[in-house]
Structure 1
Amino acid sequence: MSLYPADIESTAARIIAAFSARGLTLATAESCTGGLIAGALTEISGSSAVVDRGFVTYSNQAKIDLLGVQPETLERHGAVSRQTALEMVEGALSRSGCDVAVAVTGIAGPSGGTDEKPVGLVHLAARSRKGALLHREMRYGEIGRAEIRLATVRTALEMLIEAAG
């Protein structure tokens, strides 16, 4: 029995099968999901051939220390921004030997939102060493903390597939 909804489990299984068949590895860099993306992937048998590492960088300092996010980026744009997500995914790739990485940073709520950055705002980035670079700004709305986090996992898994080509 999986810890995740059936649609997430089936998407994760597709990623593990496809990446394994192509000899691809991946890394995750997670803030608002706290490891749920890596967890969904490692729920699948055979994931050890694909999932190399996951960075859970919940604090700004962790983003700086583990992923090399620039302090100036965090000061100028904030942790929940396109720029931070892009630096997170670059850091995940550069600090691993992986072929593909995904990064997420957002506001899961129920508190912490502002008019400019409301609860449910999530920035995601995915990158392939072959050059694909994706960014998505999602506004899931105030659908609840757990649902925002699961919606982010769904989007991140889709982006891994797309980035891998």
Structure 2
Amino acid sequence: MMAAKSSAPGAMLVTLILLPWLVATCFYSADRVVWECHLDFEMLVTSSDQTAERTLGSYSQFFYGNNLGFSQISGRKVDFLENNQTVVHNFHRFMDFKYVQAGPYLKNRITKITHKKGDTLSDDKTLAFTSTPGEDVYLQVLKLGPNTYSFGRLGMPNQICQGRQGWLMPRLR
């Protein structure tokens, strides 16, 4: 009888200690997307030989809580050649990456690039926002609001990123 009475407060104490951790685990999972960035873009590049290329596309990044993520880029690239001809290439690619925060910067390392159906752009053609696997890309991060950030990469348009429930880059707060 005495043992039953003394174990009840101990069980209550253990429950009170473990309950917040169990609740937090249910609401936050490291393999869930905790923030994402989206950008529609248009880029026009003109060279000295009077040729030009116009790229229109959409770029999105999804970051997981375990420092892994993926990005998707799709659109079309139009080459305007010297003899008034045009060549159109479509692209649709997924890129897996690892990321780490480095002060006000974010370092992404592309681990894998996958070409999806309909991608007609060859690998020797440059494409905005893509890198070769193993290459490190540094993005400068600027806080815009409680759960909103802007990423900037040299020579590229800025991306606007939204976080979920305040878990976005806590050291920049």
TM-score by length of 1: 0.27
Q: Which has the larger radius of gyration?
A: 2
